[in-house]
Amino acid sequence: MADEKQPEVLGIISEFANIGAGSAATALSHLLDVDLMNDVTTCEILPLDKVAEWLGGGNQIVAGTYTYLCGELKSGILVVLPQDSAVSLLNHLTRDEIDLSSLTELQKSALREVGNICLCWYLIAVSKMVRIDMIPAPPDATVDYLGAVLNVPLATLGAKVDTVIAVHTSFKALDRQFDGYFLMLPDESTLKIILERMGEHYR
């Protein structure tokens, strides 16, 4: 990516990511059946190896849902929920006491579903914008060290990807603050297509 274009590119990508995250938040509010106040959304374009640092260090425990696109566009997508946000969400959905170290099959499934819905709605919004279908593979969720969760996209895409569109969104619901992170890892050609298509909106 050309460095002199960086601010402009970041603007385009922020727009792209904000709309995606907003859509995901709406879906989540329907799923939880609560009103959800979107607080702040920040967007960064990061190199792969800086992601763990940006998220606050590789040694913290997070809930991650990962999938990849298998249509025309090639990208990995990861939804990361910090430990406390994941516990509150699951607690609200399942009405159980949540212990992340020993999730039941139902709780795991609920976690996967939360991640799935978030990332699908993110994709629906952004694919409308760029007018290209984005078809995700079935996702999988895990609760583990952040570094370990990030290993998978790094290992599978590491050779082809060096740019991560990272979105941090923070919202209020159920009388508390939630944090969520969307990481989109497009390969170079996909990023180019997104920027081209998004650029058309600006002209």
Partner 1 sequence: MNDLNVVGIAQLAVSRPPSRLACLGLGSCVAVILYDPLARIGGIVHILLPKAPNHHDRDEKYADTGTKKLVEAVIREGATKARVYARLVGGAEMFSAINIAIANIGRDNIFEARRVLHNYGIRIVAEETAGKRGRSVYFDLDTGKVLVQTAFAGEKTI
In the complex, minimum distance from the CB of residue 157 to partner 1, in angstroms, rounded to a whole number: 10
Regarding 66 and contact with partner 1 (CB under 8 A), the answer is yes
Regarding 7 and contact with partner 1 (CB under 8 A), the answer is no
Contacts of 99 (CB under 8 A, 6+ apart): none
Q: Which of residues 33-52 bind partner 1 (CB under 8 A)?
A: 49, 52
Q: What length does the chain have? A: 203
Considering only the stretches 16-24, 26-34, 116-124, 146-154, report the one whose residues sit in contact with partner 1 under the rule CB under 8 A: 146-154
Regarding 139 and contact with partner 1 (CB under 8 A), the answer is yes
46, 32, 14: which is closest to 126 by C-alpha?
Answer: 14
What gap in Å lies between CA 93 and CA 28, rounded to an integer?
11
What gap in Å lies between CA 165 and CA 186, rounded to an integer?
8
List the one residue from 146, 161, 167, 185 that touches partner 1 (CB under 8 A).
146
In the complex, minimum distance from the CB of residue 150 to partner 1, in angstroms, rounded to a whole number: 7
HEC string for 12-48: HHHHHHHHHHHHHHHHHHHHHCCCCEEEEEEEEEEEH
Regarding 138 and contact with partner 1 (CB under 8 A), the answer is yes
Q: Are 43 and 13 in contact (CB under 8 A)?
A: yes
Regarding 150 and contact with partner 1 (CB under 8 A), the answer is yes
Chain contacts with partner 1 (rule: CB under 8 A) = 49, 52, 57-59, 61, 66-68, 100-102, 137-152, 154-156, 158-159
